[in-house]
Amino acid sequence: MRQRGRLFVYQRGKWFVVSDDYIVLFAALNGLPDYVPCWVLGKPEGDFAPDIQGPVASKDVAQLLGIS
């Protein structure tokens, strides 16, 4: 199974805004998946993100950003 990319998003009101992951966003829009995994910057409010996991441990942030 192919691993999907994850979008970096942040919440603005009830909407989630894609930071600058446009390649992953357009690939998702092209494929129309049921969901797209996201790294949410900050703590989301409301019931708009039903399957929240985390927060990410500080020691894992570099790997998350692709910095080894």
Residue 2 domain-assigned (yes or no) = no
How many domains does the chain divide into? 1
Q: What is the pLDDT of residue 2?
A: 46
Run of H or E residues at 26: helix 22-31
Position 47 in a domain: yes
Would you say residue 20 lies in a domain?
Answer: yes
Is 1 contained in some domain?
no
pTM of the predicted protein model: 0.64
**Is 55 within a domain?**
yes
Domain encompassing residue 46: 7-64
Query: Which amino acid type is present at position 39?
Result: W
- 35: DSSP letter: -
Q: pLDDT digit of tens for each residue in the chain (68 aa)?
A: 345 567 888 889 888 888 877 888 888 888 888 888 888 888 888 777 777 777 788 888 888 777 87
Contacts of 20 (CB under 8 A, 6+ apart): 8
Please report whether residue 37 resides in a domain: yes
